[in-house]
Amino acid sequence: MTFTLKQKSILPGFGLTLGFTVFYLSVIVLIPLAALFLKTSELSWHQFWHLVASPRALASYRLTFGASLIAALINLVCGVLVAWVVVRYKFPARGFFDSIVDLPFALPTAVAGISLTTLYAPNGWLGAPLMRLGVRAAYTPIGVTIALTFIGLPFVVRTVQPVLEDLDKELEEAAASLGAGRWRTFTRVLLPTILPAAITGFAMAFGRGVGEYGSVIFIAGNMPMHTEITSLLIVTKLQEFDYAGATAIAVAMLIVSFIFLLTINLLQVWSGRPRKASPADDEMIPRIDLRPAFGTQEAK
């Protein structure tokens, strides 16, 4: 049947790759995910709501979403700054700083977690000076925000960077020749151009923060109602063999992350692509794809 729904091609391997891809996808992803929803369906709507909206769960959502939001806002501002500086200015070790931006992606979260905790502990390199200023970072919501800022750091930089690189110099020259100062050019010409990409990066950082676990649990202190993030609450419930509670909260989280995914995809449509990557790409649905693979190549 599939063959009638497929354009003719002389390339071999359609049946084989389709079969294997769908089989592997089902075994690894679809069936396990279905188990989650199957487990949830054992609960009545009332039970589900009771578990998802318990005071302890609500407190964890407040912390998780609040800290993720603040961290994403910090990254929005600093990310645009870093992208700007790396693309526009020449300075010593620029290439190094450009590469190191990806560190939070590559560094295992547990390593980030213990390292940030040691750094911001009351006797740590940065924790001690902060204590003298009267700020306690580790084991408070501030610590959670710091960890989430670290984790979300590359998103805005990496979404804004290609847009800045592809930006036409003529646009700015036109603004300048029309008498606009640098600041005016930035706010009126440059900012509107990079804003969609920046917002997309912001949404990604926010989404990533909401689900983050490893880098946060060490620095958080993990006090129920106070410094307990939602991911940890799921783990705690599992360790107490409260499978229903863990499942219900997990489903709630999953739905939230799908909403994020949808929002980000819509944002991508809004931000559009600076340049068509390839004709084939047009047939694909909008997806997380901020750096058109061949954008820079074409620019050369």
- Rank residues 272 and 298 by Cβ distance to another protein and give the closer one: 298
Q: Work out how close the CB of 110 gets to another protein at its nearest, in angstroms, rounded to a whole number.
A: 4
For the bound state, the minimum distance from the C-beta of residue 219 to another protein, rounded and expressed in Å, comes to 11
Q: Determine if residue 13 is left, alpha or beta; phi over 0 gives left, psi from -120 to 50 gives alpha, anything else beta.
A: left
CA distances from 139 to 71, 117, 297 (A): 16, 8, 46
| Closest listed residue to residue 252, CA positions, set 20, 14, 43 | 43
Identity of the residue, 45 or 91, whose beta carbon is nearer to another protein in the bound complex: 91
Q: Backbone phi, then psi, for 114, in 5-degree steps?
A: -70, -30
The least distance separating another protein from the CB of residue 173, rounded to whole angstroms, comes to 6
What's the CA dihedral at 92, 97, 99, 102 to 10 degrees? Answer: 180
Closest approach of another protein to the CB of residue 168, in Å: 10
Closer to another protein at the Cβ: 187 or 296?
296
Q: In the complex with another protein, which residue's Cβ is closer, 62 or 296?
A: 296
Q: Which CB sits closer to another protein, 131 or 235?
A: 235
Residue type, 1: M
Maximum Cα interatomic distance, the chain, rounded to a whole number of Å: 72
Smallest gap from Cβ 137 to another protein, in A, equals 12
**Cα(294)–Cα(197) distance, integer angstroms:** 17
Q: Of 49 and 173, which CB lies nearer to another protein in the complex structure? A: 173
DSSP per-residue codes, 127-183: HHHHHHTT---TTSHHHHHHHHHHHHHHHHHHHHHHHHHH--HHHHHHHHHTT--HH
Beta carbon of residue 90, minimum distance to another protein (angstroms, whole number): 7
Planar angle of CA 69, 57, 141, nearest 5 degrees: 40
59 vs 250 by CB, closer to another protein: 250
- What minimum distance in Å lies between the beta carbon of 165 and another protein? 5
Chain centroid to CA 234: 20
